[in-house]
Amino acid sequence: MSNLTNACPSSDEKVALFGLLLETNARLSKDLGAALEANCQLPLAWFEVLLRLRQSQEGRLKMSEMATAIFHSTGGTTRLIDRLESAAFVRREHCPQDRRSVYVAITETGGVKLDEALGVHLEYLDQLMGERLSVSERDALSALLTKLIDVR
């Protein structure tokens, strides 16, 4: 047991930093999700899908691309898209080049809901980052987080 503790101590600064990243993500996601639910009745997972679609080049993504983008299983993504489609926020489109593939696309109703949610999101970010972090701190944080996720 002693060798295991010495090989990977729980007090290692990298372990602590990773824990801080996880805690920060969880807290920010929980708070943003609560703000979106309270102000525009939109679950955070729905917001993320709509935002990813808006940010995509064609306003649509293949279902497999969406699953990868939002870090969900394909089954979980299918159920999520089913709920968004029932709310008329997205629609499925067949891919003419590959009959096995299905696109998910944002609808006009989804775009309107996303715009409403983005107002809430930006207000939340202004309070969180605009009031707590300077421009140079935000730039540094962005650079560091980008460096961590750069898998090249």
Q: Reply yes or no on whether the pLDDT at 1 is more than 60.
A: no
Rounded CA-CA distance 14/8 in Å is 10
Q: Is 46 inside a domain boundary? A: yes
Q: Is 87 inside a domain boundary? A: yes
Task: State the average pLDDT over residues 80-87.
Answer: 95
Q: What is the pLDDT of residue 74?
A: 73
pLDDT in tens, 113-129: 999 999 999 999 999 88
How many domains is the chain partitioned into structurally?
1
Q: What is the pTM of this model?
A: 0.82
CATH number of the domain within which 141 lies: 1.10.10.10
Q: Is 123 inside a domain boundary? A: yes
Q: Is 6 inside a domain boundary? A: no
Task: Specify which residues 105 forms β-bridges with.
Answer: 60, 91
What is the SS3 assignment for 90? strand
Q: Is 3 inside a domain boundary? A: no
Q: What is the pLDDT of residue 59?
A: 85
Q: Is 8 inside a domain boundary? A: no
User: Band of the pLDDT at 150, cuts 50, 70, 90?
Assistant: confident
pLDDT in tens, 34-57: 999 999 999 999 999 999 999 998
Q: Is 5 inside a domain boundary? A: no
Measuring CA to CA, how many Å separate 78 from each of 26, 29, 104?
Answer: 24, 22, 10
- Domain holding 88, by residue range, is 14-149
Q: Is 136 inside a domain boundary? A: yes
